[in-house]
Structure 1
Amino acid sequence: MTCLNLVLSSQIHPFLNMRVAIVALALVACTFAIYDGLSGADLRAALKSDYYSHHTLGYKKAREYMYALIDNTEGEDMVYGIYTDLPLPFPYGYMHTSYEDTPINCEHIVPQSFFGKKDPMVSDVHH
C-alpha cells in the first residue's frame, strides 16, 4: 500500500479532522515530487540529509509554539481540542508564559515516560 493510499483509506484514525488529512496529502505529494526516482538506501540517505537535524526547544517553549503558532488558526485566534474539536481562544502568535490554567491538555501520543522525559522526545510537537 502506498503512502497516498494509506492517507485516503479508512485506516486514518477517526479523530483526525479534514485539515490534517489535507496536510498529509500535501506532504505526500511534495515528498513524491522531491524524491522522484529515489528508493531504498538512496531515498533514506536523501531524507536523512534533508530532515535529520533539529533544534530542541524544550517542553515549555515547544508548548508555547504549539498553542501560539502551530495548532493555532491565524485570523481565528483559536486552538481546537483534538478529541472534541472544541474551539478555545488563544491569540495567534502570542507566546503565553503559562498554559497550566487553560482547559486544553498538551497530550502526547507517545507517553513522556517512554524516554524518561528527555529531549528531544519530550518536546516533539508532532507526537
Structure 2
Amino acid sequence: MNLERLRLYLLEKRGAVEEYPFGPETPVFKVGGKIFALVFFDGDLLCLNLKSDPDHARVLREYYPAVLPGYHMNKRHWNTVLVDGSIPEDELQSMLDDSYALVVAGLSREARKNLS
C-alpha cells in the first residue's frame, strides 16, 4: 500500500479528516478531533502509528516483525506499523479499521451522532 492509497482508504471513513499539525510531511488522520492514524517516513519507509487494543497490540507485535510499540505514543495503546510489504494488505486494512473503530468508540455519544 502506498501513501496515496492509504490516504484515500483513511479518508473514506465516516467523519475522517486529514490535518498537518506536525508539518507538511506528517499527515494525521482524525475523527471527532482525535487521532486514529499518524503517517510518517523513516528514511524511505512509510510508517503508521495506529491505536490498538493493548492485548491485540501485543499479539500483532509478536506475529509481525513490522509492528512495533508506538513511536512517540503510549506504547500500550499504539503500534507503529512499518509498511514494508511484509503485512498482507487485508491485515493492514484491518489494523486501520480497528484504530478508527477504537477512537470512534471513545468519542462521546453526541460526537458519534454528529459524524458526517
TM class, shorter-length: under 0.3
Instruction: Flag the structure with larger Rg.
Output: 1
TM-score (norm 1): 0.24
